[in-house]
Amino acid sequence: MDLAAESKLYCDELKGKINSYGLEITELSTHLQGQLVAVHPAYDLRFDGFAPDTVKGNPKARTNWAIEQLKKAATASKHLGLTAHATFSGALLWHTVYPWPQRPQGLVDMGFSELAARWLPILNHFDSCGVDVCYEVHPGEDLHDGASYEMFLDKVKGHQRACLLYDPSHFVLQQLDYLQYIDLYHERIKAFHVKDAEFNPTGKSGVYGGYQDWINRAGRFRSLGDGQVDFAGIFTKLSQYGFDGWAVMEWECCIKSPEQGAREGAPFIEKNIIEVTKKAFDDFAGAAVDEGFLRKVLGI
């Protein structure tokens, strides 16, 4: 990251090399670093594993390190000619996600103010690099659905770089309407993870999952095509709204091997890609249409 942020030359070479294999770098990702921008103490111990030794056990230093990492990722993205960047928001409030015990008045507001304060300098730097920050909306993060994203967007005053990575699998697991979500937020969706999931609640377990392993949870991730995500609906809506980013396959499955998942996943995505039509069937194919003609049709 350091090198890529410092040297445009290095990035050009890297990109050239990768392109020479017929591959593309679609976007950089800083999920772990983004997560470390905001960590509630209850999660410190477990998240320290993602931090370098120098800042472990020192949350303040860890936060600063994470912020710098994000900025470098912005510069590196610019050097690589990328316009979107994938990350997590981090979380100060996640342990209060179910309102028992009740949240004291003002808590949520303060939490989002603090989160926005940490992210604003990052967003501004991304803006100067011409790159969108795409938050992967995800449980465990303060940005875990549309409602929480809207609160954040308010706090950063609708910052144009505070955008979204769309991954429907996380919405299946919380039973959010992931198609209507596109209707609501499509202007902000700049990155897209193609990941499948299923939710099969029983008399034993629902969304919360009883602390079970992935294979025994009602909601779990699946290989592409094996879950319940309506990808035809998603690709239709993204095409309709003119999304032109990458469809990036993400694989995480508790049943099928990664090899089979990869082998089947690439053609699965290809099959879903829509070449957008230029033909409309709305055009009237009749006589010359002038104002008089229209007035006659309307009878006015």
* Window 172 to 231, contacts with a copy of itself (CB under 8 A): 174-185, 199, 201-216, 218, 221-222, 226
Give the H or E element holding residue 47: helix 44-47
Residue 212 Cβ, how far from a copy of itself at the closest point, in Å? 6
Cα–Cα distance for residue pair 254/221, rounded to 1 Å: 7
Contact with a copy of itself (CB under 8 A) among 99, 158, 242, 270: 99
Q: Which stretch binds a copy of itself (CB under 8 A): 5-13, 15-23, 119-127, 269-277?
A: 269-277
Residue 77 Cβ, how far from a copy of itself at the closest point, in Å? 25
Which tokens go with 300? 């006015």
Touching a copy of itself, residues 47-66 (CB under 8 A): 47-50, 56
Q: Which stretch binds a copy of itself (CB under 8 A): 2-10, 12-20, 123-131, 280-288?
A: 280-288
92 DSSP assignment: S
Among 26, 56, 32, which Cα is nearest to 44's? 56
Contact between 133 and 126 (Cβ < 8 Å): yes
Q: The sheet that has 132-136: what strands, in order across it? A: 28-30, 84-87, 132-136, 162-166, 189-194, 248-249
Which positions from 154 to 173 touch a copy of itself by CB under 8 A, shown as an x/- string?
-----------------x--
For the beta carbon of residue 214, count every other beta carbon within 10 angstroms.
13
Q: Is 131 in the site for a copy of itself (CB under 8 A)?
A: no
Residue 223 Cβ, how far from a copy of itself at the closest point, in Å? 9
Q: Which residues, at least 6 apart from 1, have a Cβ–Cβ distance to it below 8 Å?
A: 69, 72, 73, 76
Touching a copy of itself, residues 7-36 (CB under 8 A): none
Q: Which stretch binds a copy of itself (CB under 8 A): 2-10, 16-24, 123-131, 140-148?
A: 140-148
